[in-house]
Amino acid sequence: MDEFYDAATRLNCQAIRDWQATERPIVGYTCSYTPGEIFHSVDILPVRLKGIETEGMEIGDTYYGPFICSFPKCLLQLAGKEKFMFLDGAIITPGCDGMRRLDECWRKAAEDYKGILPDFFYYFDVPHKSENHGMAWYIEELRILIKKIENHFNVKVTDDNLADAIKVYNQGRRMLQEIESLRYRDDVVVSGTDIFAATVAGTVMQREAYNQALRRWLEELKNRTTSLSAGKKRLMLIGSISDEIELFRMLEENNDAIVVGENLCFGIRHEGNEIDEHGDPVEALGRHYLQSSVCPRMYGKYKERLALLKQKLDAARVDGVVMQNIRFCDLHGAENSLFERDLEAMGMPCLKLEREYGPMIDVGRMKLRINAFLERLRV
């Protein structure tokens, strides 16, 4: 677990230092709609940008203004503080409007903070619909992205390399799905905190190394017999973007609850479906990333997302859902309210938490609400 925690909780982690030692490029990305397989296929390390280790917000606030989600502001703050200098490139995606604005805010900040803009700085557009022209558009965007990468890094993304990368990623997906299924048992042998750390680590570590570490961990988990769930309430954590291991730790620290599922974009949700290993690999990537979407940024998919969530809640026999949303995160703020309405009507207790992203801001008030929610569940 140590390597997972290192990769998940430190910006300058061992996995990045090891890769830097090979003098091969690292490209950061901001959204789960960016296929890591493309980079992996040409020996570029894709690293999902995290907002951890942010101290202060003077740069983020200056270029963004105050009324916006604190996650992209943290990314800008870290960029301005030269915490992302290990990047050879960055891909900005319109996961939401706040994240879209990171493109222009980072460029603008780079006028004042020299050298913080990676040489390869690319805006990767992602449509909000996955049907027909939306899918054609996304696949076209993927092909343009590939061309840009080839030109900048002087590499060639071939169908064979891409197909191999898909196979490697699928191996990891299968193992994560196997780990996820361990949470469906009566006696859960692994904490939600550990699983989330392992999942977040996958957005940083080199994929073959990650798969090996995951394989070792999975074997160890299969041999565990001590239940961590006995007498505890089974929770699911959903909502706004979060890479915060501490959030899970806070839910589980009093030994009253165990997190048996999450629906977060750093979590396992995108790993559920494997990518088709046959046919055109770019089209296969397109189908996986755009169609298996569970993010509220996608139009017209609420019922699909509710059904998927309900399926996960049933499988993991969840007692209550904690819905967090970062202040000014309209997408999850709105969807959490819909989920709360529909899940409560089905008899599933829900707790909505509005909060700031950051090094566990609002801990006292959040704990109060979580404690009261768990007390409600215990009645």
Partner 1 sequence: MSIVAGCDVGSLTSKAVIMKNKKIIASHLIKSKPRPKDSADAVMKAVLAQAGLTRGDIAHCTGTGYGRERIDFVDEVISEISCHGKGARWLLPTARTVIDIGGQDCKTMRIDRDGNISRFMTNDKCASGTGRFLEVMAKVLGVSIDELGKLSKQSVAPVTLASTCTVWAQADVIKFINSGIPVEDIGAGINTAMAGRVAILVNAVKPEEDIFMTGGVAKNIGVVSTLEKLIGKRIKKARKADPQMAGAIGAALLSWEKVNGNGLRN
Is 345 among the residues that bind partner 1 (CB under 8 A)? Answer: no
Q: Are 278 and 311 in contact (CB under 8 A)?
A: no
The least distance separating partner 1 from the CB of residue 90, rounded to whole angstroms, comes to 33
Is 232 among the residues that bind partner 1 (CB under 8 A)? Answer: no
Is 136 among the residues that bind partner 1 (CB under 8 A)? Answer: no
Is 371 among the residues that bind partner 1 (CB under 8 A)? Answer: yes
Residue 108 vs residues 125, 218, 236, 290: alpha-carbon distances, Å = 19, 45, 39, 30
Q: Are 28 and 75 in contact (CB under 8 A)?
A: no
Contacting partner 1 (CB under 8 A), which of 326, 355, 357, 358? 355
Count of residues engaged in binding partner 1, rule: CB under 8 A? 14
The least distance separating partner 1 from the CB of residue 255, rounded to whole angstroms, comes to 13
Is 180 among the residues that bind partner 1 (CB under 8 A)? Answer: no
The least distance separating partner 1 from the CB of residue 95, rounded to whole angstroms, comes to 24
Binding mask 279-308 for partner 1 (x = CB under 8 A): ------------------------------
Which among 344, 195, 328 is positioned nearest to 271, based on CA atoms?
Answer: 195
Is 369 among the residues that bind partner 1 (CB under 8 A)? Answer: yes
Is 375 among the residues that bind partner 1 (CB under 8 A)? Answer: yes
Q: Which two tokens stand for residue 164?
A: 């191999």
Cα separation of 38 and 32, whole Å? 13
What single letter denotes the amino acid at residue 315?
A
Q: Which two tokens stand for residue 277?
A: 């290993």
Cα separation of 352 and 323, whole Å? 5
Which among 266, 249, 240 is positioned nearest to 70, based on CA atoms?
Answer: 240
Closer CB to partner 1, 144 or 334, in the complex: 334
Burial of residue 76 (CB within 10 Å: 0-12, 13-18, 19+) is buried
Cα separation of 19 and 205, whole Å? 9
Contacting partner 1 (CB under 8 A), which of 17, 147, 215, 365? 365
Q: Are 29 and 84 in contact (CB under 8 A)?
A: no
Closer CB to partner 1, 222 or 365, in the complex: 365
Residue 191 vs residues 9, 99, 194, 195, 223: alpha-carbon distances, Å = 17, 30, 5, 6, 15
Closer CB to partner 1, 136 or 368, in the complex: 368
Closer CB to partner 1, 159 or 375, in the complex: 375
Closer CB to partner 1, 216 or 376, in the complex: 376
Q: Are 113 and 84 in contact (CB under 8 A)?
A: no
The least distance separating partner 1 from the CB of residue 244, rounded to whole angstroms, comes to 17
Q: Which two tokens stand for residue 126?
A: 């992602």
Contacting partner 1 (CB under 8 A), which of 136, 230, 307, 368? 368
Cα separation of 212 and 230, whole Å? 30
Closer CB to partner 1, 152 or 367, in the complex: 367
Q: Identify which range of 73-81, 284-292, 302-310, 357-365 contacts partner 1 by CB under 8 A.
A: 357-365
Maximum distance among all alpha carbons in the chain? 62
Q: Identify which range of 5-13, 176-184, 236-244, 366-374 contacts partner 1 by CB under 8 A.
A: 366-374
The least distance separating partner 1 from the CB of residue 57, rounded to whole angstroms, comes to 17
Binding site for partner 1 (CB under 8 A): 353-355, 362, 364-365, 368-369, 371-372, 375-376, 378-379
